[in-house]
Amino acid sequence: MTKPSSKRKKATSATSRDSTPPDDQDLEDISQEENPATATITVSAVEVTELTQEEQSDRLHLERKVERAFFEAGKALAELRDRRLYRSSHHTFEDYCRDRFGHSRRQSYLLMDAAVVFDNLVEICDQFDHKLPTAEGQVRPMTKLEPQEQQEAWLRAVEVAGGKVPTGRIVKDVVQRIMERTQIPNTYQLGEVCQILAKDNPELRGKGSCWAIVSAVNDFSCTVKMWDGEYTIGLQHLKSFNYLPEECQQMQLISDRISQVYSDLLEETVKSLLQSLGKLNRPYLTAVEEKLLSLIEREYRLIDQSPQTHRQ
């Protein structure tokens, strides 16, 4: 008897069963996907219309407003301060700026100082094709210079920038070279008593006319000790009292005593008294000043007996 023939089933994958041969269009799409560099991209042309004379005028006007934004802010802040328009809601201008604008004291004064420099540059803007500063950071380095030097610095910075508005870094470099050119040799000595000249330096506001003692002599500055800490100050902002050596030692004793007791946590009346002692223009305390300082020292238990640093 003949056995029936057995059939073997041929295994095929699911892909093989479900796939159909791609047509020509599919092959073309795959070819394009595999070779994106050969794809053709169609870009529609966009017609750019010229500005009318009125639009050009409007654009220039708006650009000037953007450029002068920091200048207008500084001018407005100065008027608010000078007319005390903050007095109905705040005791001090600094508190008002912090609450109303979120400004620190330094930020507000930097804007006001920048506005003064900007005004100075406007006077000669024809010389640099009206390329005026567009940001406060471009003006900040020039606040350390005299008005004529500010104009010189900006002219030079525009030149370095190739006739464009210079960056703050370019301005700072130019200002530094001008300051180094005008520096005088540092003749101050350790322990010498100097007066702080705060003019044209917003970082020294509140320190004008205060005395300080030189604690380090640098190339173009001195590190000085005041009642509330040490500061590094340029030579142009220092003036020697020309005290005798023993008078300088006397002031060192007064400085040490004030520094030991001074703190921002003190009552305002006590702080004011100590700050007033920090503005003495003589190398000694009067009898009354000596008693007041001794009283403060005893009140805060800093000493049992203070060295006498007064004259009758």
Model pLDDT for residues 240-261, shown as the tens digit of each residue: 999 999 999 999 999 999 988 8
- State what percent of residues in the chain have pLDDT above 70: 79
Specify the amino acid at residue 230.
E
Asked if residues 86 and 80 have their Cβ atoms less than 8 Å apart, the reply is yes
The pLDDT, as a whole number, for residue 19 is 47
**Per-residue pLDDT averaged across 11-36, rounded?**
48
Q: Report the candidate in 193, 250, 272 with the shortest Cα–Cα distance to residue 296.
A: 272
| H-helix or E-strand spanning residue 217 | strand 211-217
Going from N- to C-terminal start, the domains of the chain cover 58-182, 193-240, 246-299
Strand 211-217 relative to strand 221-226, pairing: antiparallel
Query: 34: which 2 tokens?
Result: 């595999």
Tell if the pTM clears 0.85, that is, is over it.
Answer: no
Position 193 pLDDT exceeds 90: yes
Query: 266: which 2 tokens?
Result: 């003190």
Phi and psi at residue 242, to the nearest 5°: 55, 45
Residue 238, C-beta contacts closer than 8 angstroms, at least 6 positions apart: 188, 194, 195, 196, 197, 212, 222, 224
Per-residue pLDDT of 46-89, as tens digits, reads 566 788 888 888 888 787 777 678 888 999 999 999 999 999 99
Q: Sign (positive/negative) of CA torsion 233, 236, 239, 242?
A: positive
3-state SS assignment for residue 56: helix
**285 strand-pairing partners:** 310
3-state SS assignment for residue 310: strand
Residue 137, C-beta contacts closer than 8 angstroms, at least 6 positions apart: 168
Helices and strands counted in the chain (H then E): 12, 5
Per-residue pLDDT of 200-234, as tens digits, reads 677 787 888 899 999 999 877 899 998 778 888 88
For the chain, give the mean pLDDT: 81
Secondary structure (DSSP) of 77-107: HHHHHHTTTTTTT-SSHHHHHHHHH---HHH
The pLDDT, as a whole number, for residue 312 is 47
The H-assigned helical ranges of 6-146 are: 14-18, 24-34, 53-67, 69-82, 93-101, 105-122, 136-139
